[in-house]
Amino acid sequence: MNKSELKVISVLERVGGFASAQQLHQLLLRSGESIGLTSVYRALQSLVDDKIVDQLRKDDGEAIYRLCGEAHHHHLVCKSCGSTVEIEGSALEKWAKAMAEEHEYREVGHLAEVFGICPSC
Amino acid sequence: MNKSELKVISVLERVGGFASAQQLHQLLLRSGESIGLTSVYRALQSLVDDKIVDQLRKDDGEAIYRLCGEAHHHHLVCKSCGSTVEIEGSALEKWAKAMAEEHEYREVGHLAEVFGICPSC
DNA sequence: GCAGAAATGAAAATGATTTTCATTTCTGTG
DNA sequence: CACAGAAATGAAAATCATTTTCATTTCTGC
């Protein structure tokens, strides 16, 4: 855990939700920290790898990040307001793995989202 | 509905699942069609606007597309050659339903694909 | 204190996607 | 058919988030 990662974690705590790498960089600069955009990306990458930060994609493809202590998981996305809830996905992981093994696929990844209308919409 | 859109629809039918714009372009060229990458992007954009095609994002931010309204099933997609295998998804269906109920979401649907490298690649 | 390792960031590279723009194809009309 | 305006096409350039490179700085253990 190096300096950049600590800075990024602290700004993510302050934000309390999703933010893009560029936004986080701006916020850090504005609050007086000295850090390069490169280091923000590197820190985020490493935090994502360590499963300290959760990364997903906006519709336009830009990555957004938030703190998340949990293991790999998926989202329940509201079709109406766009709010997301983390959901538990171990059943899904098992399924994806089993399917891939059954057909002898290598380097397997998966993609899953559940859509619906949230209670408040 | 112009020529490019027809070509893109026909290749999407052939693929039967998700594919990126670049993959679709390659497939079209390989099957003897003459079409520019620009036109593939333009056609996809317009088909997405018309809700004929679904667009989503892989983890790396690349957009992938598939025809809407295809019978509901899931695929194991080869990242390298694009070939697909239909896979059994009842475990997944149950999972999606359970997650949605747990969070009181209504009108639930889901998307799931498993990616990997097929045995022959 | 010092050598080697790790971290840093500016600048260049990358790669998907979008835009520009000149050219080609289509469409309807007389 | 001819012809004008509209739509479609695609090559090349532009865009933009992200990654890589690489020279420099900071750390670490001895």
- pLDDT at position B70 is 63
Given an 8 Å threshold on Cβ–Cβ distance, is B108 in contact with A114?
Answer: yes
Nearest 5°: CA angle at B98, between B104 and B103? 25
Q: Taking CA atoms, what residue in A is nearest to B118?
A: A105
Pairing mode, strands A106-117 and B106-117: antiparallel
In what side-by-side order are the strands of the sheet with A106-117? A84-87, A74-78, A106-117, B106-117, B74-78, B84-87
Residues of A whose CB is below 8 A from B110: 112-115
Nearest residue to nucleotide D11 when comparing alpha carbons to its C1'?
B36
For residues B76-105, give the mean pLDDT.
82
For residues A56-82, give the mean pLDDT.
74
- pLDDT at position B80 is 63
| Coil, strand or helix at A65 | strand
* B86 pLDDT more than 60: yes
User: Any long-range contacts for B33-41 (C-beta under 8 Å, 24+ apart)?
Assistant: B33/B7, B35/B4, B35/B7, B39/B4, B40/B4, B40/B8
The distance (Å) linking the CA of B36 with the C1' of D9 is: 8
pLDDT-derived band at B6 (thresholds 50, 70, 90) equals very high
What pTM was estimated for this model as a whole? 0.72
Taking only the tens place, the pLDDT of each residue in B32-84 is: 999 999 999 999 999 999 989 988 888 788 999 988 776 567 888 776 666 77
Residues of B whose CB is below 8 A from A105: 76, 78, 114, 116-119
Mutation target among B57, B94, B101 for the A interface, most CBs of A within 10 A: B57
Mutation target among A48, A110, A117 for the B interface, most CBs of B within 10 A: A110
More confident residue, B113 or B105: B105
pLDDT-derived band at B12 (thresholds 50, 70, 90) equals very high
* A72 pLDDT more than 60: no
